[in-house]
């Protein structure tokens, strides 16, 4: 969801002045956010929150992430940074969200806030970012910079350099009913059956098929209420809000910190049991499932293949472990290595996307089948979402368990399932229903 603004195109790179200073402990970041256009990245109560837009870079097409990486390097080189805290998320940072498909009509963006509040490892900070050159818009390596001419986001006063942001009271509670859109139950089952047939007939191992739910969020509704529900209900996930994309993802696409790269691959799913015994049985059944193990193996292989050119010592466990979430069990594998080529987190997100966990195997054939069987544009669902710092470090998740909110209040939620040769259409539909639960409960 973009801010209304009057924009113009000019040649050049926007020069930014950035200053990070320590703060007394900011225990909760969400209350400081704009109620309609929140900008946040948190996990277990730690992360960063943005207010306003100092710079907005927009990208489209098959090279969108590569263009973003080049534009970000140019932005960093032109910036003047004073960082008195020096921890991940301080200094110059940008929040980002990218479309899943090369042919998507959705805009991919990097957003540099005017103010960033952060909390990590018991330390809190504030970063203030302003333009030094008076340029409102810039074309940088294929990216289009767009400014919010009105200054900070609605609901926040202009912030003098000696003032601090103030928390905003939450709006009234609301409840939405999210209804099927694009594919109903019969339509999704038919799409899964078609995919299974094509997998058995052609050289295709896996394809991920998604479906949608939709609702309308009244203009006075406070989006931060959904963020609080997600952050409290799913503390081990990445809870995010970037340009109207709101969600809580369990899957780390890539994290880069001081030359170390890590990723977490999730593929293979079971619902949680109703009691301790049935919950244990569900986890054991997932670990023993040949179908889920095969699906997981494809996903791990795709990540390893993408990261090997950037790291000579990648390590992954021989067998996946079962990851417990409030509503699901997942098969999971953690991957770690040392970067050998100086790649940034955006460079690695570009190399990794789309993984087999959200597209399929082989990638090109799987994406082609997705376009054929899904009667909608995924937008930013299943694309990279996260943040990048001035040193190239950053944290990126796959945008799962999420919904996109547009300027009119239309809300579209997405969930998908990995389809392989022995997939059962009814079971795959049930899996998507489980995956919708975080968003349905947060907004409904």
Catalytic residue annotation: 206, 251
Q: Residue 90, Cβ neighbours under 10 Å: how many?
A: 25
DSSP classification of residue 355 = P
- Three-state helix/strand/coil letters over 30-41: HHHCCCCCCEEE
Query: Phi and psi (nearest 5°) for 321?
Result: -110, 160
- Are 439 and 402 in contact by the 8 Å Cβ rule? The answer is yes
Q: What span, in angstroms and rounded, lies between the C-alpha atoms of 412 and 403?
A: 5
Return the closest-CA partner of residue 292 out of 313, 271, 315.
271
Encoded tokens for 30:
């969400």
Q: Strand pairing of 402-405 and 410-419?
A: antiparallel
- Are 248 and 240 in contact by the 8 Å Cβ rule? The answer is yes
Give CA angle at 43 (37, 44), nearest 5°.
125
Q: Where are the beta strands (DSSP E) in 85-154?
A: 93-97, 108-112, 115-120, 123-131, 139-140, 143-145
Q: What span, in angstroms and rounded, lies between the C-alpha atoms of 320 and 317?
A: 7
Q: How far is CA 176 from CA 216, 221, 223, 414, in A?
A: 8, 11, 12, 15
- Are 117 and 25 in contact by the 8 Å Cβ rule? The answer is no
Strand partners, 145: 57
- Are 355 and 295 in contact by the 8 Å Cβ rule? The answer is no
Helices H / strands E in the chain, number of each: 8, 25
Q: Strand pairing of 16-23 and 80-83?
A: parallel
Return the closest-CA partner of residue 52 out of 116, 99, 6, 103.
116
Q: What span, in angstroms and rounded, lies between the C-alpha atoms of 235 and 243?
A: 22
Encoded tokens for 420:
């392989």
């Amino acid at each position: 969801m973009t801010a209304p603004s009057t924009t113009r195109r000019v040649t050049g790179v926007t020069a930014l002045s950035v200053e990070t200073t320590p703060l007394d402990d900011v225990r909760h970041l969400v209350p400081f956010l704009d109620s309609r256009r929140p900008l946040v990245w948190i996990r277990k109560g730690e992360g960063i929150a943005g207010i306003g837009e100092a710079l907005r870079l927009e990208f489209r097409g098959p090279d969108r992430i590569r263009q973003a990486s080049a534009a970000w390097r140019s932005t960093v080189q032109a910036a003047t940074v004073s960082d008195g805290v020096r921890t991940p998320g301080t200094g110059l940072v940008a929040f980002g969200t990218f479309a899943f498909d090369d042919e998507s009509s959705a805009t991919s963006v990097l957003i540099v806030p005017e103010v960033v509040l952060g909390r990590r490892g018991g330390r809190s900070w504030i970063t203030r970012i302003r333009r030094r050159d008076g340029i409102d818009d810039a074309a940088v390596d294929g990216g289009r910079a767009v400014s919010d001419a009105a200054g900070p986001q609605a609901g926040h006063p202009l912030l003098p350099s000696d003032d601090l942001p103030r928390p905003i009271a939450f709006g009234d509670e609301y409840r939405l009913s999210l209804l099927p859109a694009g594919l109903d139950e019969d339509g999704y089952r038919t799409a899964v059956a078609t995919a299974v047939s094509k997998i058995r007939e052609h050289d295709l191992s896996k394809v991920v098929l998604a479906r949608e739910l939709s609702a309308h969020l009244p203009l006075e509704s406070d989006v931060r209420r959904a963020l609080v529900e997600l952050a409290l209900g799913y503390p081990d996930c990445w809870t995010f809000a970037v340009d109207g994309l709101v969600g809580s993802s369990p899957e780390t696409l890539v994290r880069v910190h001081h030359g170390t790269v890590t990723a977490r691959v999730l593929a293979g799913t079971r619902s949680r049991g109703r009691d301790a015994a049935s919950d244990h049985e569900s986890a054991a059944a997932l670990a023993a499932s040949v179908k889920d193990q095969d699906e997981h193996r494809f996903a791990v292989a795709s990540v390893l293949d993408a990261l090997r050119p950037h790291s000579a010592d990648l390590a992954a466990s021989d067998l996946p472990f079962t990851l417990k979430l409030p509503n699901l069990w997942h098969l999971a594998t953690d991957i770690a290595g040392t970067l050998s080529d100086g790649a940034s987190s955006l460079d690695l997100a570009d190399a990794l996307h789309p993984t087999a966990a959200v597209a399929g195997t082989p990638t090109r054939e799987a994406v082609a089948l997705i376009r054929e069987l899904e009667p909608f544009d995924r937008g930013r669902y299943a694309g990279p979402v996260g943040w990048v710092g001035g040193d190239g470090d950053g944290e990126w998740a796959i945008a799962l368990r999420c919904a996109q909110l547009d300027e009119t209040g239309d809300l579209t939620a997405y969930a998908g399932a990995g389809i392989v040769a022995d997939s059962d259409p009814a079971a795959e539909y049930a899996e998507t229903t489980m995956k919708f639960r975080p968003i349905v409960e947060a907004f409904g």
